[in-house]
């Protein structure tokens, strides 16, 4: 005769077996259907790890796009210098010719240059939109340099005082500090630097492929112009020649990273002959320049 204790032990054994079978069935059903696991399956898997199958059946993630190419920065030395060139200047009788000038960035969308760089068929200075394409390159020391900015002139304002003009660019320049404008009268003996893109000959014209540099000293002062003599021997690479018109005469206090514009190239002796350069004062038109470009 079985005792009550025997019957209880047999009942507990059958209950354990049923629980194991039920748990196995739940595990199979979850594997087949993808249904969330119940407590029995969670208990059965405690302490074990399974491979991550979350990505099965999905398309591979797209590769990240390549980094955008960086834009070369302007030259750090005299970045405000400007080269002006044109290949469609009308001439009397029909046809066109080339021409070039030099200049400086004086505001984010304006350069200053010589007034006679913009003229009609009779060489008279003109304002407004020029009748030919004038391309301006800013922020290079050589034509082959990367970086810098290129735009075209869309408007010209002629100085009422001297042979100087400001020219508006088709696009602003935001990563170059414009040259500052001298606001006080220069003094005789003051040393100035010169920079320009003009020719290397008085007779064979054509702009330089690199920025020319030189040093001068103020020798005389007139109402709207200065005279300046070279310091040392003048050459075609350190003094103004044709197509240097508008080139800056300036001073710099930080190793030529920025500058203060004192005058610009107007006229002078045929390069590289001796004699003073006649250059247009900036201080006498500084307020006018700010009014045009502000």
73-90: per-residue pLDDT in tens? 888 999 999 999 999 999
The DSSP 8-state label assigned to residue 98 in this structure reads E
Mean pLDDT taken over the chain: 84
Q: Answer yes or no: are the C-beta atoms of 137 and 113 closer than 8 Å.
A: no
Q: For the chain, give every domain's residue range.
A: 81-293
Distance CA 36, CA 42 (A): 10
| CATH topology assigned to domain 81-293 | Thrombin, subunit H (2.40.10)
Pairing of strands 81-90, 96-107: antiparallel
178-211: per-residue pLDDT in tens? 999 999 999 999 999 999 999 999 889 999 999 9
5-61: per-residue pLDDT in tens? 444 444 444 443 334 333 444 333 343 344 444 444 344 444 444 445 454 555 556
Per-residue confidence (pLDDT) for residue 48, from 0 to 100:
45
Q: How confident is the model at residue 272 (pLDDT cuts 50, 70, 90)?
A: confident
Residues 6+ apart with CB under 8 A from 18: none
Distance CA 202, CA 199 (A): 7
């Amino acid at each position: 005769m079985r005792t009550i204790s025997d019957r209880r032990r047999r009942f507990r054994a059958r209950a354990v077996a049923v629980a194991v079978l039920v748990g196995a069935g739940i595990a199979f059903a979850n594997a087949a259907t993808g249904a969330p696991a119940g407590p029995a399956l969670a208990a059965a898997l405690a302490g074990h790890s399974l491979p991550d199958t979350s990505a099965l059946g999905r398309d591979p993630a797209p590769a990240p796009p390549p980094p955008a190419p960086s834009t070369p920065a302007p030259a750090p030395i005299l970045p405000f210098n400007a080269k002006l060139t044109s290949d469609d200047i009308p001439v009397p009788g029909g046809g066109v010719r080339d021409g070039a000038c030099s200049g400086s960035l004086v505001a984010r969308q304006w350069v200053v240059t010589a007034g006679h760089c913009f003229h009609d068929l009779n060489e008279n200075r003109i304002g407004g939109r020029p009748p030919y394409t004038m391309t301006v390159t800013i922020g290079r020391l050589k034509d082959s340099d990367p970086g810098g900015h290129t735009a075209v002139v869309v408007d010209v304002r002629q100085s009422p005082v001297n042979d100087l003009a400001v020219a508006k660019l088709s696009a602003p320049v935001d990563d170059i500090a414009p040259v500052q404008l001298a606001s006080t009268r220069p003094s005789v003996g003051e040393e100035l630097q010169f920079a320009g893109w003009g020719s290397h000959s008085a007779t064979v014209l054509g702009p330089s492929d690199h920025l020319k540099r030189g040093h001068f000293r103020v020798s005389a002062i007139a109402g709207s112009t200065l005279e300046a003599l070279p310091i040392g021997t003048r050459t075609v690479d350190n003094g103004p020649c044709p197509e240097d018109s508008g080139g800056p005469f300036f001073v710099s206090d930080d190793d030529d990273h920025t500058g203060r514009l004192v005058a610009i190239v107007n006229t002078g002796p045929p390069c590289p002959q001796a004699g003073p350069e006649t250059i247009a004062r900036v201080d006498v038109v500084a307020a006018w320049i700010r009014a045009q470009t502000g």
